[in-house]
Structure 1
Amino acid sequence: MAILGIDIGGSGVKGAPVDTVRGELLAERFRVPTPQPSDVTSVVEAVAQVAAQFDGFDRVGVTFPGVVVDGVTRTAANVDKSWLDAPAAQLFSDRLGMPVSVLNDADAAGAAEVAFGAGKDQAGLVMMLTFGTGIGSALFLDGTLIPNTEFGHLELDGHDAESRASDRARETEDLSWEKWANRVGNYLRHVEMLLSPRLFIIGGGVSKKADRFLPLIDIRTPMVPATLLNNAGIIGAAVTAETDAKAASPGGVTPHEAGARVAG
């Protein structure tokens, strides 16, 4: 079943159709810059621009950099404040003319890693952390998502943690890998103390350079880089949209699966 996944990030909106059985993109992803300002109308149009590049899908999953509850965006730390309490799923659905599922971007990336990547078949409490414009978090217990955690906003040394340890902070302050790894290590030890997870999965664009900083961090919890890299959000959005489609369908099957059974 091909579902379109679209990932709204701080710098870009990117998407591609996804094979939700294998967790792979079915075409090269298409990307447009995130509008500035990133207000509701502009971002909805950017998502529509990405969706227009593809066909052959009838459902879309979209990630959002903030808390999403029942399709409504409740926070907007790194996007325009017009997103506060916006009915995002309805807005995207009306614009695209089909059902749209919306979830937190880190939750989407984590869902992909747990289904197909570094968190697959991992029991216990697993935490995905994405280091990018901010710090996103996704928490899973025995593979089940505990949605909308915001551990990037923990207070650390009197600061919002993501203002000190995000990849943007590394770039803005021109930190060496050693100095940034020290900050990330302090942050991870704080999270470790609070939650005692079995595993940290480190994602975001910086995960491509995991060999530059993970060996410099000394904590008790095992750490692994994300394996799906920048495609994780797209894949996780599509997987979530498929799950929602099954939940909404009689007997818990998608229209595609129902058609296949009739054909068979």
Structure 2
Amino acid sequence: MTQPGQIGDGGAADVARPWTLCIDIGGTHVKSRVMGPGGEVVGTPVKRPTPRPATPEALLAIVTAIAETLSFDRVSAGFPGVVVGGVTKTAPNLDVGWAGFALGSRLEALLGAPVRLANDADVAGLGVIEGEAVEMMLTLGTGLGAGLYVDGTLVPNLELGHHPSGINAETYEERVGDAVLKRIGEPAWRQRVMAIVEQIRPIWNFRRLYLGGGNARLLRQADMPADVQLVDNTAGVLGALRLWEPAGARLDVVSH
């Protein structure tokens, strides 16, 4: 990484410290950007394809290569699977080698900075929630991620995508994941997404549901119910920054 005080590509030297390297690890891409404490973007966001196979070592090599070009003081990361105490438990859209992998501590050793880590959908929701009553985030991408929040407090690792949908013995992810979208086409996929929204509504009685992830761009806000809001792909990095707020310190996201 560049030395503290230096600027990565296109950065601004007058942005206050600390700078947070926000990493969004996905089944298709690894996205990152450095942000100041007020959400200011420092330098140019970086996006790389997720390696295949997406083993821990292959993905860590991508993250390390990105970090070497940037200046930062701390790291936040969203990971597509269950994360407990900085250890990844599952990663169904990456590789079986992630079961029981101490990602938080490995990132700290490789990057030389403190790390906070959480499920990627949980992190994305932190970037958009208002902190009132029950709110949910669904991320539509390679798979289906989900985040649940009660009065602004995260209920971590929901993993709704792997729950049975009650249709054809399929999980929710098997109903609306990216592979299914390519097979059935956008109109049928949109119908399935909206059916899931209505299916989960009486279970959680959310005040607001957010739909994000790369494939949310295929939906239109005009077609959404009043309590459903589309959000763009910046939610992941903004949520990652929030892991360093005082409320984030109380979550089970710290790697040590």
Identify the TM-score tier after normalising by the shorter chain. Answer: 0.7 to 0.9
Number of equivalences: 231
Confirm or deny that 1:145 pairs with 2:145: no
Residue 78 of structure 2 aligns to which amino acid in structure 1? Answer: T
Residue 185 of structure 2 aligns to which amino acid in structure 1? Answer: L
Confirm or deny that 1:8 pairs with 2:25: yes
Residue 57 of structure 2 aligns to which amino acid in structure 1? Answer: T
Confirm or deny that 1:233 pairs with 2:232: no
Higher helix share: 1
Secondary structure at 1:230's aligned position in 2? coil
Q: 1:163 aligns with which of 174, 185, 204?
A: 174
Judge which range, 76-85 or 27-36, deviates more: 27-36
Secondary structure at 1:28's aligned position in 2? strand
CA shift, 1:239, in A, is 2.1
Change (3 A) 1:134 1:246: closer
Q: 1:25 aligns with which of 16, 41, 47?
A: 41
Q: 1:113 aligns with which of 101, 122, 128?
A: 128
For 2:186, the equivalent position in structure 1 comes to 176
CA shift, 1:167, in A, is 3.8
Partners of 2:51 and 2:186 lie apart in 1 by: 30
**Alpha-carbon contact 2:123-2:240 (below 8 Å) kept:** yes
Query: What TM-score do the two structures reach when normalised by structure 1?
Result: 0.81
For 1:83, the equivalent position in structure 2 comes to 98
**Alpha-carbon contact 1:204-1:230 (below 8 Å) kept:** yes
Within 5 Å, give how 1:41-52 maps onto structure 2: 41-52=57-68
Change (3 A) 1:106 1:123: same
Partners of 2:245 and 2:208 lie apart in 1 by: 26
Partners of 2:200 and 2:181 lie apart in 1 by: 20
State the 4+ residue runs in structure 1 displaced beyond 2 angstroms. 23-27, 206-210, 214-217, 241-247
Q: Deviations for 1:222-241, whole angstroms, at most 9, x for unmatched residues? A: 11111xx2222122223214
Partners of 2:212 and 2:248 lie apart in 1 by: 27
Percent of aligned pairs with the same amino acid: 34
**Alpha-carbon contact 1:3-1:242 (below 8 Å) kept:** no
Partners of 1:42 and 1:149 lie apart in 2 by: 27
Within 5 Å, give how 1:207-246 maps onto structure 2: 207-211=216-220, 215-216=222-223, 222-226=227-231, 229-243=232-246
Partners of 2:214 and 2:227 lie apart in 1 by: 20
CA shift, 1:245, in A, is 8.9
Gapped regions of structure 1 (runs ≥ 5): 115-119, 248-264
Within 5 Å, give how 1:44-83 maps onto structure 2: 44-55=60-71, 57-83=72-98
Residue 110 of structure 1 aligns to which amino acid in structure 2? Answer: G
Judge which range, 3-12 or 158-167, deviates more: 158-167
For 2:52, the equivalent position in structure 1 comes to 36
